[in-house]
């Protein structure tokens, strides 16, 4: 079980238990709240009735048929009150009136008249000048059989001459209590469900974010810069930053180690050749041999110099995170490079056919694009036989343009087409059978990748075609 699922389950358990306890507590609070509201209403009714019947009690008219008929008519008055989903049809209250001794003078139910109610709290406390109320159960074990009584004093000239008590059965309140409890339970369940869904979404988002960071860590070797960002998770961004910083430090260390190893390996052969030639030159040689070994030293020194220069260029390029791009005329840049190679072109009698338009605008860094194009043309010149041709063409697309450099000559073996861009891989030149440093095309590929472009190489009928794809300005 994943840690995120465990966190979600624990959170869900806490949420459910907390919601249950909260809902249960609130449901238990509904009953006393409803009873308090009803008691408040009964107190108002009792005081109103007490004021209305004060004269009748004083004159002794409460025990007359006329009085009884009047009260019964009020209590039996038909109602059409819609309270929530319940239809109220009549006044559901019981009224009795006592004298100042607690003897019942009037009972709306007609069963308690003449009885002594002076011991009941509602009557006794009211006669004592206090607030009088009581709740009495017909069945002590059944709460629904209870009836609430609230009394009010009947006053004449600042003297209590009797008590009016108004009652209501708890059973009549139960539908309202149950509906309130039901509504609270439904709303509580909806809140719990939504909270669980939301917490699940948060857990999934956090899990997804962690997995993204893990995936980022696994692919650090192929990423050149941090491109993972979380808009609402500073902690994850800090983790990504720390990982990327560690990656850069490790890459820097590995990079140095790799280049030291490469330099040791690549410099070994030229240095060995130079040392051997120098040792031989110490002997007594004729002029022809001396010239041959001197030439070998010069050639190997040039090779070393070229290797070191290109390795330094490649190291500089690989450590560069982005290019300082500007608008460049590709046609002018290609023409500049061709002019730089004019000596080799003339020596090999190679015909350069330039079909590029007068203006080709792209975005990039001049130095690196010049290096890339120069390496491509150098390769084309190396593999083009004497008195053959090189042609340059361009094609414009919606958001990019492509530069094609084609030479006449020997095609690249099929097995080598996928390897020519690998570091230190080189094919022998047709003229001398010597290999280059194997860094030129690697540098070209790096330059194009950093510019958002690409480079490809294919054989064609007469030779080899290299295509560079640039982004338009």
Confirm if 294 and 302 have CB atoms less than 8 A apart.
no
**What pLDDT, on a 0 to 100 scale, did the predictor assign at position 90?**
67
Domain covering 322-471 assigned CATH 3.30.565.10 in the classification: yes
- Give me the sign of the Cα torsion angle 228, 230, 231, 236: negative
* Rounded Cα–Cα distance for residues 395 and 401 (Å): 6
Give per-residue pLDDT as tens, 43-98: 998 999 999 999 988 888 887 888 888 877 777 777 776 666 666 666 778 899 99
* Rounded Cα–Cα distance for residues 242 and 140 (Å): 72
**CA–CA distances in Å: residue 465 to residues 336, 368, 404:** 21, 21, 7
List the one residue out of 451, 446, 172, 151 whose CA is nearest residue 316. Answer: 446
**What pLDDT, on a 0 to 100 scale, did the predictor assign at position 152?**
95
**CA–CA distances in Å: residue 334 to residues 328, 349, 352, 368:** 11, 19, 12, 13
Neighbouring residues of 249: CB distance < 8 A, sequence distance ≥ 6: none
DSSP label at 70? H
On average, the pLDDT of the chain sits at: 81
In which order are the strands placed within the sheet that holds 104-107?
104-107, 94-99, 159-169, 146-156, 133-137
* Domain ranges, ordered by start, for the chain: 3-179, 254-317, 322-471
List the one residue out of 257, 87, 114 whose CA is nearest residue 175. Answer: 87
Q: Is the pTM of this model over 0.85?
A: no
Grouping H, G, I as helix, E, B as strand and the rest as coil, residue 116 is strand
- Extract the tokens encoding 407: 């030479």
* Rounded Cα–Cα distance for residues 462 and 413 (Å): 14
pLDDT tops 80 at residue 249: no
pLDDT tops 70 at residue 2: no
Give per-residue pLDDT as tens, 118-158: 999 999 999 999 999 998 887 777 777 788 899 999 999 88
pLDDT: which is higher, 241 or 393: 393
* 3-state SS string for 128-185: CCCCCEEEEECCCCCHHHEEEEEEEEEEECCEEEEEEEEEEEHHHCHHHHHHHHHHHH
Average pLDDT over residues 228-243: 58
pLDDT tops 70 at residue 238: no
- Give me the sign of the Cα torsion angle 303, 307, 310, 313: negative
Q: Which CATH architecture has domain 254-317?
A: Orthogonal Bundle (1.10)
* pLDDT band for position 273 (cuts 50, 70, 90): confident
Q: Are strands 389-396 and 351-354 parallel, antiparallel or unpaired?
A: parallel
- The dotted CATH code for 3-179 is 3.30.450.20
Q: Compute the CA torsion angle 94, 98, 104, 105 (nearest 10 deg).
A: -90
pLDDT tops 60 at residue 459: yes
Grouping H, G, I as helix, E, B as strand and the rest as coil, residue 354 is strand
Rg of the chain over Cα atoms, rounded to whole angstroms, equals 51
**What pLDDT, on a 0 to 100 scale, did the predictor assign at position 27?**
64
Average pLDDT over residues 17-41: 77
* pLDDT band for position 418 (cuts 50, 70, 90): confident
pLDDT: which is higher, 214 or 226: 214
How far from chain centre, in Å, is Cα 464? 49
Give per-residue pLDDT as tens, 428-446: 887 767 777 778 888 889 8
């Amino acid at each position: 079980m994943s840690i995120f699922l465990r966190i979600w389950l624990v959170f869900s358990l806490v949420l459910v238990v907390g919601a249950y306890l909260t809902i249960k507590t609130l449901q238990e609070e509904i009953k006393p709240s409803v009873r308090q509201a009803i008691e408040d209403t009964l107190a108002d009714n009792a005081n109103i009735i007490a004021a209305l019947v004060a004269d009748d009690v004083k004159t002794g008219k409460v025990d007359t048929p006329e009085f009884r008929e009047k009260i019964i008519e009020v209590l039996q008055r038909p109602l059409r009150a819609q309270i929530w989903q319940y239809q109220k049809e009549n006044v559901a209250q019981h009224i009795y009136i006592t004298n100042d001794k607690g003897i019942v003078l009037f009972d709306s139910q007609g069963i308690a008249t003449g009885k002594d109610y002076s011991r009941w709290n509602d009557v006794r406390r009211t006669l004592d000048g206090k607030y009088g109320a009581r709740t009495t159960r017909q069945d002590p074990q059944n709460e629904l059989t209870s009836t609430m009584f609230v009394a009010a004093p009947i006053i004449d000239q600042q003297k209590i001459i009797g008590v009016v008590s108004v009652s209501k059965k708890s059973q009549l309140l139960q539908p309202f209590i149950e509906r309130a409890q039901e509504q609270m339970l439904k709303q509580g369940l909806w809140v719990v469900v939504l909270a669980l869904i939301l917490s699940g979404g948060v857990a999934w988002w956090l899990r997804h974010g962690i997995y993204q960071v893990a995936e980022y860590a696994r692919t650090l070797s192929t990423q050149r810069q941090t491109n993972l960002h979380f808009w609402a998770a500073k902690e994850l961004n800090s983790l990504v930053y720390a990982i990327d910083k560690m990656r850069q430090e490790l890459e820097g260390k590995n990079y140095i180690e790799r280049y030291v190893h490469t330099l040791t390996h690549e410099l070994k052969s030229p240095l060995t050749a130079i040392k051997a030639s120098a040792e031989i030159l110490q002997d007594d040689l004729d002029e022809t041999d001396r010239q041959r070994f001197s030439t070998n030293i010069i050639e190997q020194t040039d090779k070393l110099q070229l290797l070191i220069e290109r390795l330094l260029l490649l190291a500089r390029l690989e450590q560069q995170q982005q290019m300082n791009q500007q608008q460049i005329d590709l046609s002018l840049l290609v023409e500049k490079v061709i002019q730089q190679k004019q000596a080799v072109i003339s020596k090999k009698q190679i015909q350069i056919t330039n079909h590029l338009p007068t203006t080709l605008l792209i975005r990039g860094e001049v130095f690196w694009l010049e290096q890339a194009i120069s390496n491509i043309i150098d390769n084309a010149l190396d593999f083009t036989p004497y008195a053959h041709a090189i042609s340059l063409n361009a094609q414009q697309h919606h958001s990019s343009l492509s530069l094609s450099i084609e030479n006449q000559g020997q095609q690249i073996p099929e097995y080598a087409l996928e390897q020519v861009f690998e570091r230190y891989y080189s094919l022998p030149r047709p003229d001398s059978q010597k290999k280059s440093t194997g860094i030129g095309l690697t540098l070209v590929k790096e330059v194009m990748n950093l510019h958002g472009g690409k480079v490809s190489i294919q054989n064609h009928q007469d030779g080899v075609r290299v295509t560079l794809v640039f982004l338009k300005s």
